[in-house]
Amino acid sequence: MSTLSEEEKEKYLNELFEFLKLPSISADSRYKDSMIKTAKWLSNELIKSGCDSSKVYETDGHPIVYGEKFVDGSFPTILVYGHYDVQPPDPIELWTTPPFEPVIKNTNIHPDGAIFARGACDDKGQVFMHVKAFEQLIKKDKLNCNVKFMIEGEEEVGSENLEKFLLENKSKLNADVILISDTGLSNLKKPTFTIGLRGLSYMEIKITGPNRDLHSGLYGGALANPINILSDMISSLIDEEGKITIPGFYDNVLEIDQSKRESVEEMSKFDNDDFKNSIGLKETKGEKGYSTLERLSIRPTLDVNGIWGGYTGEGSKTVIPSEASAKISMRLVPNQNWEKISELFTNHIKKITPNSVSIDVTTHHGGNPYITPEDFKGYDSAIKAYKDSFGIDPIPQKDGGSIPIVPMFESILGTKTVLMGFGLDSDAIHSPDENYGVKNFFIGIDTIQNFYKHFGN
* Residues in region 34-73 near a second copy by CB under 8 A: none
Nearest distance in Å: CB 435, a second copy: 12
Cis, bond preceding 122 (omega within 30 deg of 0):
no
| CB closer to a second copy, 87 vs 449 | 87
Piece of 172-180, 310-318, 337-345, 388-396 that binds a second copy (CB under 8 A):
310-318
**Sole binder of a second copy in the list 16, 114, 162, 324 (CB under 8 A):** 324
Nearest distance in Å: CB 392, a second copy: 23
Site for a second copy in 355-394 (CB under 8 A): 355-356, 364-365
**Sole binder of a second copy in the list 87, 146, 181, 417 (CB under 8 A):** 87
User: Would you count residue 158 as binding a second copy (CB under 8 A)?
Assistant: yes
**Sole binder of a second copy in the list 319, 371, 383, 395 (CB under 8 A):** 319
Nearest distance in Å: CB 395, a second copy: 16
User: Can you tell me the distance from the alpha carbon of 354 to that of 320, in angstroms, rounded to the nearest whole number?
Assistant: 17
User: Can you tell me the distance from the alpha carbon of 434 to that of 99, in angstroms, rounded to the nearest whole number?
Assistant: 8
User: Can you tell me the distance from the alpha carbon of 325 to that of 357, in angstroms, rounded to the nearest whole number?
Assistant: 13
Q: Which residues contact 446 (CB under 8 A, 6 or more apart)?
A: 2, 3, 4, 133, 388, 389
Nearest distance in Å: CB 42, a second copy: 22
User: Can you tell me the distance from the alpha carbon of 344 to that of 89, in angstroms, rounded to the nearest whole number?
Assistant: 32
What CA–CA distances, in Å, run from 292 to 193, 272, 286, 394? Answer: 18, 7, 8, 21
Piece of 13-21, 64-72, 351-359, 444-452 that binds a second copy (CB under 8 A):
351-359
User: Can you tell me the distance from the alpha carbon of 260 to that of 256, in angstroms, rounded to the nearest whole number?
Assistant: 7
Site for a second copy in 271-290 (CB under 8 A): 275, 279-287
197 DSSP 8-state letter: E
**Sole binder of a second copy in the list 43, 372, 402, 449 (CB under 8 A):** 402
User: Can you tell me the distance from the alpha carbon of 216 to that of 275, in angstroms, rounded to the nearest whole number?
Assistant: 43
**Sole binder of a second copy in the list 327, 340, 387, 453 (CB under 8 A):** 327
**Sole binder of a second copy in the list 43, 329, 381, 440 (CB under 8 A):** 329
User: Would you count residue 85 as binding a second copy (CB under 8 A)?
Assistant: no
Piece of 76-84, 249-257, 314-322, 342-350 that binds a second copy (CB under 8 A):
314-322
Burial readout 204-237 (b: 16 or more C-beta within 10 A, e: otherwise): bbbbebbeebbebeeeeeeebbbbebbbebbeeb
Amino acid at site 376: F
194 backbone φψ class: left, alpha, beta (φ>0; ψ -120 to 50): beta
Nearest distance in Å: CB 212, a second copy: 5
User: Can you tell me the distance from the alpha carbon of 292 to that of 280, in angstroms, rounded to the nearest whole number?
Assistant: 15
**Sole binder of a second copy in the list 8, 15, 28, 343 (CB under 8 A):** 28
Site for a second copy in 218-257 (CB under 8 A): 218-225, 227-228, 230-232, 234-236, 238
**Collapsed DSSP state (helix, strand, coil) of residue 71:** coil
Amino acid at site 206: K
Nearest distance in Å: CB 139, a second copy: 35
Nearest distance in Å: CB 456, a second copy: 32
Nearest distance in Å: CB 447, a second copy: 20
User: Would you count residue 91 as binding a second copy (CB under 8 A)?
Assistant: yes
Residue 105: its H or E element: strand 103-105
Site for a second copy in 186-225 (CB under 8 A): 198, 200, 202, 204, 209-225
Binding residues for a second copy, how many (CB under 8 A)?
A: 100
Nearest distance in Å: CB 220, a second copy: 4
Piece of 134-142, 167-175, 374-382, 422-430 that binds a second copy (CB under 8 A):
422-430
Site for a second copy in 96-155 (CB under 8 A): none
| CB closer to a second copy, 367 vs 396 | 367
| CB closer to a second copy, 306 vs 414 | 306
**Sole binder of a second copy in the list 130, 132, 295, 398 (CB under 8 A):** 295
User: Would you count residue 398 as binding a second copy (CB under 8 A)?
Assistant: no
Nearest distance in Å: CB 290, a second copy: 8
What CA–CA distances, in Å, run from 76 to 54, 176, 186? Answer: 20, 6, 30
Instruction: Assess contact for 416 and 77: CB atoms under 8 A.
Output: no
User: Can you tell me the distance from the alpha carbon of 419 to that of 351, in angstroms, rounded to the nearest whole number?
Assistant: 39
357: number of Cβ within 10 Å: 21
Half-sphere exposure (CA, 13 Å, Cβ side) for 421? 30
